[in-house]
Chain A
Amino acid sequence: MIHSTLDVKNLNCPLPILKAKKALREVPVNAILEVLATDPGAEKDFIAFCANTGHELIENEQKDGVYRIVIKRSK
């Protein structure tokens, strides 16, 4: 179940990652954060971010130019 949604549409790098980092701090451990982004680099950036930080990338899809990235806070 999604705990909260972060809308970073129309924001460019590095803001989507910075805002996601902040949002992940604000949800409980094991909670799920949904991120909506339009930055063309967002998908690969979030894959790398999750690999580096250990947060779990649960879903990653693109529809009508919007990336939907679902992350589970791991720690």
Chain B
Amino acid sequence: MTKPLSIILCSEEHEKIQMAAMTATIAAVSEREVSIFVSMGAVFSFCLESPKGHRFSGGTFSELMLEKNAPDALDLLKQGKEFGKLSLYVCSMALDITGIDEGALIPDLFDEVIGLTKFLADSEDSQLTVF
């Protein structure tokens, strides 16, 4: 049995969010259990309307992905949820600090608002990766 995969996503950089979404989705459709904890600046990228006016920050590779119509990271995560066991959690601290209401997040994506302690406890037997 493959170890579950736990991902802490704390960057609003397009490249990191895209890589995290690709990793999570591929793992989920390969029948590996995946949990993602969205915290820090990454929460801005998961808002229906980003308070920063743009969904991601990004560099040269981000520009190339947009130019080549790479699949949207959030759509990938939705597919991971549809075709595998992928759970998304949003950090209670990050919502509190930013003042973002849970209802302002993209719907049908997050399973729960939790704290880091709970996420770490649940990830005890998982492979943990940070983006």
Query: What residues make up the interface of A, taking CB atoms closer than 8 Å to B?
Result: 12-15, 17-18, 21-22, 25, 48-49, 52-54
The 0/1 profile, CB within 8 Å of A marked 1, for residues 1-33 of chain B is 010000000000000000000100110011110
Residues of chain A within 8 A of B31, CB atoms compared: 52-54
What total of chain B residues lie within 8 Å of the partner, measured CB to CB? 14
Bound Cα distance from A25 to B71, whole angstroms: 21
Query: What residues make up the interface of B, taking CB atoms closer than 8 Å to A?
Result: 2, 22, 25-26, 29-32, 70-71, 76, 79, 83-84
Query: Provided the pairs A52-B2, A52-B31, A53-B31 are in contact, do residues A14 and B83 lie with their beta carbons within 8 angstroms?
Result: no
B76 near A21: Cβ-Cβ < 8 Å: no
